[in-house]
Structure 1
Amino acid sequence: MSFLEIAKSRYTTKKYNPNLKISEEKIEQLKEIIRLSPSSINSQPWKFGFIADEKVKRELASVSYFNEQRIIQASHLVVFSVIDEIEKFEEQIQQNLPEGAVDYYNTFVKPNSDAEIKSWLQHQVYLSLGFFLSACASLGIDSTPMEGIKSEEYDKILQLDGYKSLFAVAIGYRDLDDANQPLKNPKARLSAENVIYSI
């Protein structure tokens, strides 16, 4: 299947089949793919939690607003978190990135306020989200990206230290009755003329 065909068929899943689980082989592929996500200067200010344990999944579902049922039904929940301590991030890049990348950070990012630096770090995690959703679709896995979570509660449940939960993605296989799938609810997008221009 071409990437264009994948883009046309991928959708935000609203209802999962709880009896279908993603194989461990595919989960390992997803873990390696997400590890390889792109980020500015290869900054990688993230951690990704793959939650399969049903008890923990239900705890997280209970602090996920209207996404509760999707998380319970899904095979796994993937939690995307960002490093929340600027000094810790700076230590990480000093140890792992080449001098040119560190110089870029020190020249263009570090002079900003803490809030602006943290916003820049969060943007990198959002880059990984698009990469991950595409990877899921390429493997025939359905997904639901969710910002509707109580981040502080997630952090407590997952005992995140120095990281902050930003959003989560439920993954699994759709219920064939899911009314949101393109065969039942065709994709609605703005026309190319409205969103694309060429020079």
Structure 2
Amino acid sequence: MSFFDIAKNRYTTKTYNPNERISEDTVEKLKEIIRLSPSSINSQPWKFTFVSDESTKQKLADASYWNAGRINEASHLIVFSAIDDIEKFEQQIKENLPEGSVNYYNQFVKPKGNTEIKYWLRHQVYLSLGFFLSACASLNIDSTPMEGLINDEYDNILPLNGYKTLFAVAIGYRNPEDANQPSVSPKSRLPLEQIVQSI
């Protein structure tokens, strides 16, 4: 399937088939794909927690407002978190990145102060989201990105160790009756000429 076809057919899944699970081989492939996500200066200020344990998923679902049902039905929940310890992050890039990348951070990001640094770190994690959703669709896996979480509760439930929850993605296989799929409810997007310009 071409990427254009993937873009036309991918959608935010509302209900999953709770009896169909993603194979371990495919989950391992997704883990490796998400590891390859792009980030500014290759900063990688993230942690991705794959949750399949039903007890843990239930606890996270209980901290997810209206998203609880789809989390419980889905095969896995992936929690995206950003590093929250700036000193730890600076040590990480010092040990793993070339001098030019570290210099960029020190010259253009660090002088902005801790609040702006954390915003910048979180933005990198959001870059990985689109990459991951596209990867899932390319493997015929359905997905639901969600920010409707009680983030502090997620941080208490999971062993994040210096990272903070930003959002999560439920993945699995759709319920054939899901009314949100494009074959039932066609995608609604703004006209091309309203959102894309050429100069």
TM interval, short-chain normalised: over 0.9
The CA RMSD measured in Å over matched residues stands at 0.5
Partners of 1:78 and 1:170 in 2: CA distance: 6
1:174 aligns with 2:174: yes
Counterpart amino acid of residue 133 in structure 1? L
Deviations 1:165-187 (A, max 9, x none): 00000000000000000011000
Partners of 2:6 and 2:173 in 1: CA distance: 15
Partners of 2:110 and 2:118 in 1: CA distance: 10
Deviations 1:113-137 (A, max 9, x none): 2111000000000000000000000
1:28-47 to 2 correspondence within 5 Å?
A: 28-47=28-47
In the alignment, which residue of structure 1 is the partner of 2:48? 48
In the alignment, which residue of structure 1 is the partner of 2:90? 90
1:149 aligns with 2:188: no
1:126 aligns with 2:130: no
Deviations 1:40-87 (A, max 9, x none): 000000000000000000000000010000000000000000000111
Aligned-pair CA distance for 1:160: 1.7
1:24 aligns with 2:15: no
Partners of 2:7 and 2:136 in 1: CA distance: 11
In the alignment, which residue of structure 1 is the partner of 2:111? 111
Counterpart amino acid of residue 115 in structure 2? A
Partners of 1:195 and 1:117 in 2: CA distance: 30
1:2 aligns with 2:2: yes
Divergent runs of 4+, >3 A: none
Identity %: 69
Q: Which runs of 5+ in 2 are unaligned?
A: none
Deviations 1:139-166 (A, max 9, x none): 0000000001111100110032110000
Q: Which runs of 5+ in 1 are unaligned?
A: none
Q: What TM-score do you get using the length of structure 2 for normalisation? A: 0.99
Q: What TM-score do you get using the length of structure 1 for normalisation? A: 0.99
Deviations 1:85-107 (A, max 9, x none): 11110000000000000000000
Counterpart amino acid of residue 54 in structure 2? E
Aligned-pair CA distance for 1:194: 0.4
In the alignment, which residue of structure 2 is the partner of 1:74? 74
Counterpart amino acid of residue 160 in structure 2? L
Counterpart amino acid of residue 160 in structure 1? L
Q: Per the alignment, in what secondary structure is the counterpart of residue 148 of structure 1?
A: coil
Partners of 2:159 and 2:134 in 1: CA distance: 29
Counterpart amino acid of residue 92 in structure 2? Q
1:184-195 to 2 correspondence within 5 Å?
A: 184-195=184-195
